[in-house]
C-alpha cells in the first residue's frame, strides 16, 4: 500500500513538471485523461496549465486556508506537494465544465453592477466636458480641412439614409470610397489633418459606422455592414489617433473610449465563451482573430500609448482640452481630471470582464504563430493593450517612480485581475509560441535558434507587458515562477 502511494506521488510529480532543474519547461501536450483541481473546481488539460494553476496565488491561498501543519502556514513547497497529493485528481468520466462556484457567480454580477455605475459616471463627466470645452476655432493649417469636413458629413449622410437592414452593395461601395479618401489623407501623418477630421465630427461618424457590427449577436449572424468596411472604419479611427495626443485625449474625455471598449467586449463575447478559464481557450471561436477585433485592439493600444506620452505630470504641457478660465473655478486641476478619468476607465475594463476575455484568446493559442500573421497581430495588439493599461494604472494611482515602493494599493483592481488570470494567459501563449512544435524529444523542451518576424514581434510586446506589470507590482510579478523556463528564449528578443 505504501509503495502504491509512493508511485502515485511520483507520477503526480512527473505529470506536474516538477523537476530538480528549475528551468524545466512543462510540456504542452494535452493529457490523455484530463485532471481537475477539486479545491478550485478547475479543469486542467496539460502540464503547462497544471504548473500554472498550482503556483497561482488564488490556488495557493485556497490550500493554505484549507490546511495547516501544527498551526503554522504552509510553505510554497508544502502547498505544491499537498496539491498534487490531495487536490489534483483525474477525471474518470468526461463531462462538461464544472459548474461555476456560486461565490464566483455572485462576484461577477457584483462586478457588472459596478461597471454600470462607473460607465454612468464617465458619461456624466463626458457631458460636462463637452459643455465646458471651448468651441474649436474654424482656422486650421490643414490643407485638407474643407475636404475632411465634407467627407465627415458624407459619412453621416450615408448612415442617416440607411435603414436598419443590411446595406445594399451600392451603399457599401460609397461608404468604402469615403473611408478610402479619408485614409489616404490621414496616412500622411499630419497632425493638423488628424485634428481637422476630429473637429469635423469624424470620430463620431466612425462610431456610427462601427455600430453596424453590434447587431451580430452570435458568430453566425451577419452584421449590417460588411466586415471589410468595418475594418476600414477602425483603420481610419486608428489613423486619426496615431501619435495625436489632442485626439486621443478627446477620445478619453468625451468617453468615446468606452464605446471602443464595449465594441471590443461585444466581439469577444460573441466568439469567446463565458466558461471556466480552464477550458475557455479550447472553445474559443477562431473567428475572433479576424480583422475587426484586431483593429479595435490596435486602436485602444494606440490611444493608451498617446495618453501615456502626453499625461500631464507637471513637467510637460498637458494635452488635456482647453476649458474656459471662468469655468475652471471649483473644478479639479487638469492633471486630477486626467487621472480620475483614466482610473475610472481601467476600473471599467476590469469590472466589465475584458481581462478574462483576453485571457481566453491567449489560452486558445496551442502552437506557433510563424505562419499565422493575423493571429500574431491580434496577440501583439492584445499584449499592447495590457501593457498600456498597466503603465497608465501605475501613472495615475499615486505610485512613485521606484518599483521598490512599498505602496501597492491598486483601486482599479487591475493587478488582482492579472494575477487571477496568470497574467491574462500571456505566459501560457508564450509557452506555445516559443516551444510548441519545436520539441523533438517529448520529455524535453527548448527554444528554436531563430524565429519569424511574427513570433519576434509577439515576444517583444509580451516582454513589454511583463515589464509594465513588474513596474506596477514587483512582488506580484516575482511570484510568477513559471517565467523561469521561458527566460532563455525571451532573452534573445531583448531590445535596448
Q: What does the DSSP assignment read for 168-220?
A: PHHHHHHHHHHHHHHHHHHTT--HHHHHHHHHTTHHHHHHHHHGGGTT--STT
Select, from the ranges 23-27, 260-264, 359-363, 469-473, the one with the highest average predicted confidence (pLDDT): 260-264
Q: What is the 3-state secondary structure (H, E, C) of 23-72?
A: CCCCCCCEEEEEEEECCCCEEEEEHHHHHHHHCCHHHHHHHHHHCCECCE
Is the per-residue pLDDT at 215 higher than 80? no
Is the per-residue pLDDT at 266 higher than 80? yes
Confidence of residue 274 (pLDDT cuts 50, 70, 90): low
In this predicted structure, what is the pLDDT of residue 235? 96
Is the per-residue pLDDT at 305 higher than 90? yes
Is the per-residue pLDDT at 343 higher than 80? yes
Strand partners for 335: none
> Higher-confidence residue: 421 or 392?
392
Judge contact between 245 and 318, C-beta under 8 A: no
Nearest to 458 by CA among 486, 422, 482: 486
Confidence of residue 457 (pLDDT cuts 50, 70, 90): very high
Is the per-residue pLDDT at 294 higher than 90? yes
> Higher-confidence residue: 246 or 277?
246
Task: Label residue 201 left, alpha or beta by phi (over 0 means left) and psi (-120 to 50 means alpha).
Answer: left
In this predicted structure, what is the pLDDT of residue 317? 42
Confidence of residue 446 (pLDDT cuts 50, 70, 90): low
In this predicted structure, what is the pLDDT of residue 355? 92
Using CA atoms, how far apart are residues 461 and 382, in angstroms rounded to an integer? 9
Decide: residue 446, CB within 10 A, 0-12 exposed, 13-18 middle, 19+ buried.
middle
Question: What is the CA angle 135-140-142, rounded to 5?
Answer: 135
> Higher-confidence residue: 195 or 80?
195
Confidence of residue 40 (pLDDT cuts 50, 70, 90): confident
In this predicted structure, what is the pLDDT of residue 124? 93
Confidence of residue 492 (pLDDT cuts 50, 70, 90): low
Confidence of residue 14 (pLDDT cuts 50, 70, 90): very low
Using CA atoms, how far apart are residues 145 and 268, in angstroms rounded to an integer? 36
Mean pLDDT of 329-350: 85
In this predicted structure, what is the pLDDT of residue 279? 44
Mean pLDDT of 147-176: 86
In this predicted structure, what is the pLDDT of residue 484? 55
In this predicted structure, what is the pLDDT of residue 440? 36
In this predicted structure, what is the pLDDT of residue 242? 95
Instruction: Give residue-wise pLDDT tens across range 108-130.
Output: 888 889 999 999 999 999 998 88
Using CA atoms, how far apart are residues 310 and 316, in angstroms rounded to an integer? 8
- What letter would DSSP give residue 86? I
Query: Among 140-149, 279-288, 349-358, where is mean pLDDT lowest?
Result: 279-288
> Higher-confidence residue: 191 or 5?
191
Select, from the ranges 36-50, 67-81, 395-409, 459-473, the one with the highest average predicted confidence (pLDDT): 459-473
Mean pLDDT of 50-68: 79
Judge contact between 34 and 44, C-beta under 8 A: yes
In this predicted structure, what is the pLDDT of residue 203? 95
Percentage of the chain modeled with pLDDT above 90: 34
Mean pLDDT of 178-187: 96
Confidence of residue 233 (pLDDT cuts 50, 70, 90): very high
Question: What is the CA angle 376-22-84, rounded to 5?
Answer: 95
Is the per-residue pLDDT at 368 higher than 50? yes
Percentage of the chain modeled with pLDDT above 70: 70
Using CA atoms, how far apart are residues 371 and 365, in angstroms rounded to an integer? 13
Mean pLDDT of 155-179: 85
Three-state DSSP at 453 gives helix
| 3-state DSSP helix/strand/coil % of the chain, to nearest 5 | 65, 5, 35
Tell me what the pLDDT averaged over the chain comes to: 77
Amino acid at each position: 500500500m505504501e509503495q502504491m502511494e509512493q508511485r502515485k506521488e511520483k507520477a503526480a510529480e512527473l505529470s506536474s513538471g516538477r523537476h530538480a532543474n528549475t528551468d524545466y519547461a512543462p510540456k504542452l501536450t494535452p493529457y490523455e485523461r484530463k485532471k481537475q483541481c477539486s479545491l478550485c473546481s478547475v479543469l486542467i488539460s496539460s502540464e503547462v496549465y497544471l504548473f500554472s494553476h498550482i503556483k497561482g496565488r488564488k490556488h495557493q491561498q485556497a490550500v493554505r486556508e484549507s490546511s495547516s501543519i501544527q498551526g503554522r502556514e504552509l510553505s510554497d513547497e508544502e502547498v505544491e506537494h499537498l496539491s498534487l497529493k490531495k487536490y489534483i485528481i483525474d477525471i474518470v468520466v468526461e463531462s462538461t465544465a464544472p459548474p461555476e462556484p456560486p461565490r464566483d457567480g455572485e462576484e461577477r454580477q457584483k462586478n457588472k453592477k459596478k461597471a454600470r455605475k462607473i460607465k454612468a459616471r464617465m458619461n456624466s463627466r463626458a457631458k460636462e466636458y463637452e459643455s465646458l470645452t471651448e468651441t474649436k476655432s474654424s482656422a486650421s493649417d490643414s490643407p485638407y480641412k474643407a475636404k475632411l469636413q465634407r467627407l465627415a458629413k458624407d459619412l453621416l449622410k450615408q448612415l442617416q439614409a440607411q435603414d436598419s437592414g443590411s446595406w445594399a452593395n451600392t451603399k457599401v461601395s460609397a461608404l468604402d470610397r469615403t473611408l478610402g479618401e479619408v485614409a489616404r489623407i490621414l496616412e500622411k501623418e499630419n497632425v493638423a489633418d488628424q485634428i481637422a477630421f476630429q473637429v469635423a465630427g469624424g470620430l463620431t461618424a466612425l462610431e456610427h459606422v462601427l455600430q453596424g457590427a453590434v447587431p451580430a449577436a452570435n458568430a453566425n449572424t451577419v452584421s449590417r455592414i460588411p466586415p471589410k468596411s468595418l475594418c476600414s472604419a477602425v483603420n481610419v479611427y486608428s489613423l486619426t489617433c496615431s501619435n495625436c495626443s489632442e485626439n486621443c485625449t478627446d477620445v478619453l474625455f468625451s468617453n468615446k473610449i468606452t464605446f471602443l471598449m464595449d465594441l471590443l467586449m461585444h466581439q469577444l463575447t460573441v466568439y469567446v465563451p463565458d466558461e471556466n478559464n480552464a477550458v475557455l481557450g479550447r472553445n474559443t471561436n477562431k473567428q475572433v482573430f479576424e480583422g475587426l477585433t484586431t483593429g479595435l485592439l490596435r486602436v485602444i493600444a494606440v490611444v493608451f500609448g498617446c495618453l501615456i506620452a502626453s499625461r500631464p505630470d507637471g513637467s510637460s504641457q498637458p494635452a488635456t482640452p482647453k476649458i474656459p478660465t471662468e469655468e475652471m473655478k471649483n473644478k479639479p486641476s487638469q492633471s486630477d481630471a486626467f487621472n480620475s478619468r483614466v482610473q475610472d476607465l481601467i476600473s471599467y475594463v476590469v469590472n466589465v470582464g475584458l481581462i478574462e476575455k483576453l485571457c481566453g484568446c491567449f489560452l486558445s493559442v496551442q502552437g506557433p504563430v510563424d505562419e499565422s500573421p493575423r493571429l500574431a497581430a491580434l496577440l501583439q495588439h492584445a499584449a499592447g493593450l495590457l501593457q498600456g493599461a498597466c503603465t497608465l494604472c501605475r501613472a495615475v494611482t499615486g505610485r512613485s517612480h521606484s518599483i521598490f515602493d512599498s505602496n501597492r494599493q491598486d483601486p482599479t483592481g487591475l493587478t488582482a485581475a492579472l494575477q487571477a488570470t496568470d497574467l491574462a494567459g500571456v505566459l501560457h501563449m508564450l509557452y506555445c509560441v516559443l516551444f510548441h512544435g519545436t520539441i523533438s524529444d517529448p520529455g524535453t523542451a527548448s527554444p528554436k535558434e531563430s524565429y519569424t518576424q511574427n513570433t519576434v514581434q509577439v515576444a517583444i510586446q509580451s516582454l513589454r507587458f511583463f515589464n509594465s506589470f513588474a513596474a506596477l507590482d514587483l512582488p506580484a510579478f516575482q511570484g510568477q515562477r513559471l517565467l523561469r523556463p521561458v527566460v532563455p528564449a525571451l532573452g534573445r528578443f531583448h531590445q535596448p
